[in-house]
Amino acid sequence: MAQESWKKEAEETELRAPEAPVLCANNCGFYGSAVTNNMCSKCYRDFIKQQPVLSQPARPAEKSPIIESSLPLPSEAVTAETSTVATQVSAAEDLKGKMPANRCSMCRKKVGLTGFQCRCGGTYCSLHRYSEIHECSFDYKSSGRAAIAKGNPVVKADKIDKI
């Protein structure tokens, strides 16, 4: 009983091919399908290539900033504006430069989440993660000395006047 209903459902859901093959709408001699507007694959590809050319929207003209200058600007204001523009440009470059590295800096192997960030700024795989292997330019000795000096300041007692 269940087997009969399963067969009926399978027959209802199957895609049925057309009874007779349909020739291409461009009369090229090949067969087309309803999915490709009754065109063969080659004619349909050519048709798609022509479509974007005909229906591309016109790009709006870029608006240039309108600057009205009735009073001359002092040179200090001009330098302040250029410095803010320069900082904005450098901030944009920093964002591009801070993209996460997905490859080892030595062997270019994809590391993904398993990559090791070194203090020299590189990302390395498990083989090149040690500073001796990838010839790290970071000075660990001076960094360690500075951290110890900062964490343990020298305490000098006040000098006592002797009587």
DSSP 117: E
* Angle formed at CA 108 by CA 106 and CA 114, multiple of 5 degrees: 90
Q: Which two tokens stand for residue 73?
A: 């600007």
- Tell me what the mean pLDDT of segment 100-107 comes to: 84
pLDDT at residue 159, as a whole number: 74
Coil vs helix vs strand at 23: strand
pLDDT at residue 61, as a whole number: 52
Coil vs helix vs strand at 160: coil
pLDDT at residue 94, as a whole number: 54
CATH class of domain segment(s) 99-151:
few secondary structures
Q: Name the residue ranges covered by the structural domains of the chain.
A: 2-54, 99-151
pLDDT at residue 5, as a whole number: 64
Mean pLDDT is lowest, of 28-42, 49-63, 103-117, 142-156, for: 49-63
Per CATH, is 2-54 categorized as 1.20.5.4770? yes
The 10s digit of each residue's pLDDT in 18-74 is 567 888 988 888 888 888 888 898 898 888 888 875 555 555 555 555 555 555 555
CA distance 121 to 152: 28
State the average pLDDT for the chain. 73
